Amino acid sequence: MSTSAKWVIDPTHSEVEFKVKHLVITTVTGRFNEFSGEAVSNDDFTDLHATFEASVDSISTNNDARDGHLKSEDFFAAGEHPVIKFVSTGISKKDGDSFTLNGDLTIRGVTKPVALAVEYGGTVVDPYGQTKAGFEIRGKISRKEFGLNWSAVTEAGGAVVSDEVKLIANVQLVKQA
């Protein structure tokens, strides 16, 4: 059994995105450009404990007006709730390199349990001697469960923004000495 080590997110080689249906016919992708996180785990990640934070002010959907709306009281209320947080509560290996990471997600001051699918991409030593591990993390949440209740209806009665939000993160962790 290997010894536990501390790992931190390498933000230059990581990305944190979300996808939401717009008018039920297309998907809008957004990302958080400022985030941080760390984990403590053994080398096979079967005892992983992770924490993560994203700055709501760093949200980007490639549309300034939409980004401003997302930061407003209608959605994330960035002034009052500037950070989205995740704290893991457990991890279980499904098979091969697949895991389920359970934890508490806090958005807009509301904390709910979530289960995230984690695909371990491997561990390598980079040209600078740093040990790095890669993961793809996916999940789904209901935005309304977190108080992101803004809604509008189309002329035909359909929702402008879906309740379901897909979470996608590609994360590179750096092992700390």
The token pair at 57 is 């002010």
3-state secondary structure of 70: helix
Q: What DSSP designation does 76 have?
A: T
Which residue in the block uniquely carries the two structure tokens 């740093």? 130
Q: What is the pLDDT along the chain (177 residues), one digit of tens a residue?
A: 568 899 999 999 999 998 876 665 567 788 999 999 999 998 888 899 999 999 999 999 888 988 898 898 888 889 999 999 999 999 999 998 999 999 999 999 999 999 999 999 999 999 999 999 999 999 998 777 777 665 544 444 444 556 678 899 999 999 998
- Position 26 scores a pLDDT of 65
User: Cα separations (Å) of 174 from 6, 27, 65?
Assistant: 8, 32, 35
Q: What is the DSSP letter of 136?
A: E
d(CA 157, CA 43): 51
3-state secondary structure of 66: helix
Tell the CATH superfamily of the 5-175 domain.
Answer: Lipid/polyisoprenoid-binding, YceI-like (2.40.128.110)
Going by C-alpha positions, the residue among 56, 1, 12 that lies closest to residue 31 is 56
Question: What does the domain layout of the chain look like in residue ranges?
Answer: 5-175
* Cβ atoms < 10 Å from Cβ of 122: 9
